[in-house]
A and B are shown apart, each in its own frame.
Chain A
Amino acid sequence: MRKSVQYYDRDRRKGRKYSAVLHLLVLLLLIFGLPNFMMPRPPAEPMAVTVEILPISEMSNVKPSAQQPQEQKPEESKTIPKEAPPVQVADDTPPPPPSEASILPKPTPAPTQAPKPKPKPKPKDDLAAVLKAVKETAQKEKAKVKTELADDNVNQSRSTHYDPGLPMSMSEIDAIRSQIAKCWNVPSGARNAQDLVVMLRLQLAPDGSLLKVELARESESRYGSDSFFRAAADSARRAVQECSPLKNLPADKYATWRDMEMTFDPKEMLF
């Protein structure tokens, strides 16, 4: 009986301890927000802001020579999908109906292995130790990402900070824009051409070549039903395909430009 009370007390004390620590933690979280080790640490000067305001920022203008990885790693570019023909052609049979529903539905390999956070902290008796373990794992993961990506670029990049999530500068975005503009043959003269705004989702390899392009989901049904839209979407898709590989992409920002959304809006190009 006495023994059980003792146990009861001890459990209760333990519970209070946990409760207090957790409450404190919640309070700290409320005050300081969620700590995030995956998030890039802001550099000494607030770069993202300057990049947006200045047309060309010193930081972002550093060209990490994106061509070099291309030369060094030719196997990367082999991931461009050029595989089985999409249409089966049988001799002397009526042509199959055009496969119109899909806009380049090609299976493509993922560009690089996305870091998989698999924390395996060893449970220890002390909570502090638990936290420490968690922290350590997070840092390890971060370091892993860093080395994985940096392997490609560390020698080419002249930027002092490495950060996979660096925002693109205006000049870098403009460089992409001007390349695509040269490849985009705008459908002009279509009825209500100003409404033919097409959004594509792109996935790029580290050398800038196109791995995957697809129509944004919300446009898929329109592709099937609106012939003007279909022609406009095809012209946008051809522009992206013709422009592959995109040149002069900042290699150290691969994580930023690996996945892209492009909106093709012809309204400034109307007669």
Chain B
Amino acid sequence: MKIRSYIIAALSWVFLAAPAHAVLHIDITQGHVEPMPIALPDLAGSDVGAQIMQVVAADLERSGLFRPLPKDAFIEQVTAETSLPRFGDWRQISAQALVTGVAQVDGNNIHVAFRLWDVYGEEQMVGKEYNTFASNWRRTAHIMADAIYERLTGENGYFDSRIVYVAESGPDTHKIKRLAIMDQDGENNKFLTDGNFLVLTPRFSPNSQEILYMSYAGKEPRVYLRDLQTGREESLGTFEGMSFAPRFSHNGESIIMSIANSGTTQIYKMDLRNRQLIRLTSGSGTIDTSPSYSPDGAQIVFNSDRGGSQQLYVMDANGGGAHRISFGDGKYGTPVWSPRGDLIAFTKMAGGRFYIGVMRPDGSGERLLTESYLDEGPSWSPNGRVIIFSRQQPPSGGREGASHLYTIDLTGSNLREVITPMDASDPAWSPLLPL
């Protein structure tokens, strides 16, 4: 009897066992690339809430990755009492993300709290609050925009950063060039020098507190270091010949620059603690310049004419193992290593046109992002996603064309002008400001 029931059970199993359920598998390789629709209603609680959201919306919109939805389309009106949004209302207007929050002013202080919602997933993605001086509302907005950007793109933000550049004014023959600094969105513009001397190529230190630049203040053009908070300026030593094209190392402890002497330009490293100078390249009659460290400090990219034409080279941080990485038509200059480490941006000159381009550190995957009469001097946003550069218009009516600052996404889309009070060149983007 027992055996029989076993047999029945076994046979039932054999006959009835469902086949292994093959799950339908579909590969999705096509989509579209367009800005994410995001709803940014004013922060409730005070008037400054609207101002903050305006800055947040402008930051996100400028990145080219977000499309803030018009406020008159909103169905739900968010108030200070709104604890959970009505997600259906936001889906109705195709918002994929939503930011709600409050901004309360208390005397000189401000309290800002916000939440970023996933409208389709119906859950909170980020929730943060800030307490600071009311005068800091604009910076608070940038920090908030960074938090939103980071969660939705996976990338670090870059809105809480500044740009130093050379402001140009006056006629071509007596052009006044002053160092100026502003927020990355063009606000809070300030001049750092008075314009008595020509200044060029300002560069930020890794802590955003100091800048290096080249100035004609002395008899010969030299590299200077300036503390942004105290305004103190110092020359980094006198050398035989002109020193220029300075940049900080990744940790800010040393700098690299070029020194030109009797027809030969070499790259030097200077330790900022003891001012010791070490020569990194050698050769005679060649020009090695525009050095830039990799973010880990292990390598340096620079341009050199040692092979006949001006091309890009990468060498070890101690000067060994230099090898050429650019092999396209034309000349390459002003390479700068992305803070993300994956790309090198450069200026390219070919066929009478100028281009801003990027390539991988091994020289592969060259892509040209911009083209004009004169594009030059790329500098990376702190997250390595956007490049700022200067673009000069062709001369007209016997006058030099005006120069302005532009940004471009590393995908080659979203070209935007950065509005400055006067003509501008030589931009350098700071790292994220220390909190």
Contacts and interface: CB of A to CB of B under 8 A. Distances in A.
A is bound by B: yes
B12 A121 contact: yes
B411 A117 contact: no
Given A98-B125, A184-B28, A238 B96 contact: yes
Q: How extensive is the interface on chain A, given as a class? A: 35 or more
Interface string B145-160: 0000011111100000
B16 A176 contact: no
Contacts of B7: 18, 22, 127, 130
B340 A191 contact: yes
A237 B18 CA distance: 30
Interface string B1-32: 10111011001101111110101111111111
B120 A242 contact: yes
Contacts of A230: 154
Given A130-B8, A238-B120, A262-B28, A34 B33 contact: no
Nearest to B127: A95
B4 A123 contact: yes
Interface stretch (A35-43, A50-58, A67-75, A150-158): A35-43
A266 interface: yes
Interface in B126-167: 126-129, 150-155
A100 B150 CA distance: 13
A9 interface: no
Nearest to A133: B8
Contact of A260 (B17, B24, B83): B24
**B interface majority secondary structure:** mixed
B121 interface: yes
B27 A263 contact: yes
B83 A261 contact: no
A121 B12 CA distance: 9
B47 interface: no
A185 B32 contact: yes
Contacts of A47: none
Interface in B383-414: 384-385, 409-413
A99 interface: yes
A221 interface: no
Interface of B: 1, 3-5, 7-8, 11-12, 14-19, 21, 23-34, 36, 81, 83-84, 88, 96, 113, 115-116, 118, 120-129, 150-155, 340, 342, 367, 384-385, 409-413
Given A173-B24, A184-B28, A260-B24, 14 more contacts: A86-B122, A98-B126, A104-B123, A134-B12, A177-B28, A181-B30, A184-B31, A185-B32, A189-B411, A191-B384, A201-B23, A238-B118, A239-B28, A242-B120
24 contacts: A18-B3, A34-B14, A36-B15, A36-B19, A87-B84, A94-B113, A98-B116, A98-B125, A104-B123, A117-B16, A121-B8, A130-B7, A130-B8, A134-B8, A134-B11, A138-B16, A184-B32, A186-B33, A187-B153, A188-B411, A190-B154, A228-B155, A234-B152, A261-B26
Which 10 A-B pairs give the minimum distances between C-beta atoms?
Answer: A95-B127, A231-B154, A184-B31, A228-B154, A241-B120, A186-B31, A86-B123, A89-B83, A227-B154, A271-B411
